[in-house]
Amino acid sequence: MTLQRTSAEAALAADYAARRPVLFGATKMRDDAMARFLEAGLPNRRVEEWHYTDLRARMNEAAPLRSADAAAIGAARERLTSLELGEAIVVVMLDGEFNLGLSSIGARPQGVEIGSLATALLDPANADLIAPPGLGEADSIVSLNAAFVQGGAFIRIPANMRVERPIALVNLLSGGPRHAAYTRSFIELGVGASATVWEISENSGGETQANDALVIKLGDLAECDHIAQVHHRGEKSIAVHTLLATMGRSARFDSFALVKDTGFVRRQMFARLEREESHIGLRGLSLLRGEEHADTTLVIDHAAGHCESREFYRTILDGSATGVFQGKVCVRQGAQKTDGGMKSQALMLSDDATMYNKPELEIFADDVVCGHGATVGQLDDNQIFYLQSRGLSRAEAQSMLLQAFAQEALDHIADETLRERFASEAHAWLSMRSKA
């Protein structure tokens, strides 16, 4: 079924044709991806996976790409200071491009390779690494990212190296006129390596269109904690985040995402458990208000047996916000002894809010234990009454219960410093609400 191209799709096609000669490397990957994108068009209601997040309707026009100017770099530098990234190894992408000047990678342990994606792709063998076959290929927004990618980080951690400091991947979009940015970063953890990846993605308001992808390749026994925070302000902003992860034997990947103060975001994660005994844990907290729209979509592919997956998401919705949770756990034939558990819980604070939950199971192996739970509701009157009977005002009681609801999600962050940092951000958001 081919629908007529929207003006945004037509603009993207024209833009790609014009830009193609100057885009760095991996031309074949880009051309193939663009062909896939043009075939499918922008994701819309008719695409099952995007049913609740109609990007075609949202994206009336495709914003142009832009290279950061001196003013933007200055602003970014200030922002980086205020982010207080502490002792982290910082890799910065500004307006889609890798920026070595803003990054501080001096503290990286010896042997850890951190560089620009553009440089890495001079070696054509690396092109396959940044687009793992069969992972998210059917998603047209991932294809669009592969076609347009401007820059990103290319990080390799050698076998058995434990990187103690967090590696912060900071994606910044400068303010000013409407513009788009496409980044794709790659992190490989060798056998037995471990690292904490802290991903920050934010704009400075306005009508930005961000399309970021992070590809993580975990070798056997590798361990990775991934923390993501997304702030894309602006009623007309669009942010799409894709995580593509492949995992080796006995690897561990735990991810947590905090979404707040974001106009319109889709976070999608495609993970493939390729060898036995690996563990994946995906968790998150979304705090939504106003007209905000946040979509979390997961596809966990259990390609090997004896693996474990855990998903735990909480959403608080106020105003006329829309929350979407779609989680799909696929267990392939032969992936016996899979243990999968998924939970999505949402609290609705307003009658104008909307929550869509779609936890999905697709199972082709018989010796598995898989389950999911999903709840939508409001604060329990009995709990509020209990707290009131202990002397709290109704507002205080509500606030306390909301804090607890959020905290239970935040407790999954392993890194104590980051956990406290996220908790205080969530706390600030909630207290702002109760004041209002």
Partner 1 sequence: MAAVQETVDRVKAIDVDAYKYGFVTDIESELAPKGLNEDIVRFISARKNEPEWLTQWRLDAYRRWLTMREPTWARVHYKPIDFQDLHYYAAPKSTPGPKSLDEVDPELLRTYEKLGIPLREQELLAGVQTSKVAVDAVFDSVSVATTFKAELAKAGVIFCPISEAVHSHPELVQKYLGSVVPVTDNFYATLNSAVFSDGSFVYIPPGVRCPMELSTYFRINEKKTGQFERTLIIADKGSYVSYLEGCTAPQRDENQLHAAVVELIALDDAEIKYSTVQNWYPGDAEGRGGIYNFVTKRGDCRGPRSKISWTQVETGSAITWKYPSCILRGDESRGEFYSIAISNGYQQVDSGTKMIHLGKNTTSRIISKGISAGRSNNTYRGQVSAHRKASGARNFTNCDSLLIGHDCGAHTVPYIESKNATAVFEHEATTSKISEDQLFYCMQRGLSAEEATALIVNGFVRDVLQQLPMEFAVEAQKLISISLEGSVG
Rounded least distance, CB 358 to partner 1, Å: 5
Stretch that binds partner 1, among 84-92, 165-173, 244-252, 371-379 (CB under 8 A): 371-379
Residue with Cβ nearer partner 1 (78 or 351)? 351
**Structural contact between residues 338 and 398, judged by C-beta atoms closer than 8 angstroms:** no
Token pair 């024209």: residue: 14
Structural contact between residues 236 and 263, judged by C-beta atoms closer than 8 angstroms = yes
CB of 318 to partner 1, least distance (A): 9
Q: How far is the CB of 348 from partner 1 (least distance, A)?
A: 4
Stretch that binds partner 1, among 214-222, 275-283, 291-299, 368-376 (CB under 8 A): 368-376
- Cβ-based nearer residue to partner 1, 32 or 339: 339
**CA separation (Å) from 110 to 89, 114, 153, 162?**
13, 10, 17, 11
Nearer to partner 1, 236 or 358 (CB): 358
CA distance 340 to 371: 6
Q: How far is the CB of 254 from partner 1 (least distance, A)?
A: 23
Shortest spacing between CB 328 and partner 1, in angstroms: 9
User: Of 215 and 353, which has the nearer Cβ to partner 1?
Assistant: 353
E strand intervals along 174-292: 179-189, 194-203, 208-218, 223-231, 238-247, 252-260, 264-273, 279-288
Residue 164 binding partner 1, by CB under 8 A: no
Calpha distance 413→225 (Å, rounded): 9
- Taking the least distance from each CB to partner 1, the nearer of 84 and 351 is 351
Angstrom distance (rounded) from CA 214 to CA 12: 22
Among 118, 287, 368, 430, binds partner 1 (CB under 8 A): 368
Determine which residue in the list 351, 416, 435, 436 makes contact with partner 1, applying CB under 8 A.
351
Size of the site for partner 1 (CB under 8 A): 35
> Binding residue for partner 1 (CB under 8 A) from 364, 386, 417, 424?
364
Residues shown for the chain = 436
Nearer of residues 153 and 430 to partner 1, judged by Cβ: 430
Shortest Å distance, C-beta 268 to partner 1: 17
Least separation in angstroms between residue 6's CB and partner 1 is 21
Q: Give Cα separations from 175 to 76, 94, 172, 205, 206 (angstroms).
A: 10, 11, 10, 6, 6
92 is written with which tokens? Answer: 């910065």
Does 360 sit near partner 1 (CB under 8 A)? yes
φ/ψ region of 10 (left if φ > 0, alpha if ψ in -120 to 50, else beta) reads alpha
Stretch that binds partner 1, among 71-79, 113-121, 173-181, 373-381 (CB under 8 A): 373-381
Instruction: Determine if 334 is a binding residue for partner 1 (CB under 8 A).
Output: yes
| 33 sits in which H/E element | helix 27-40
* Residue closer to partner 1 (CB basis): 111 or 371: 371
- Strands 97-104 and 89-94, bridge-based pairing: antiparallel
357 belongs to the binding site for partner 1 (CB under 8 A): yes
Residue 159 engages partner 1 in binding (rule: CB under 8 A): no
Hunting for tokens 């929550």 — which residue is that? 355
Which residues neighbour 261 within 8 Å (Cβ) at sequence distance 6 or greater?
Answer: 231, 233, 292, 429
Q: Interaction with partner 1 in 377-406: which residues (CB under 8 A)? A: 377-378
Residue 48 interacting with partner 1 (CB under 8 A): yes
Q: Which of 34, 214, 348, 413 binds partner 1 (CB under 8 A)?
A: 348
Between CA 306 and CA 233 the distance in angstroms is: 41
294: left (phi over 0), alpha (psi -120 to 50) or beta: beta
d(CA 309, CA 361): 12
Q: Which of residues 20-39 bind partner 1 (CB under 8 A)?
A: none
Please report, for residues 61, 96, 109, 192, 228, the alpha-carbon distance to residue 179 in angstroms, rounded to integers and kept in the order given.
10, 10, 36, 40, 23
List of residues contacting partner 1 (CB under 8 A): 48, 333-334, 346, 348-378
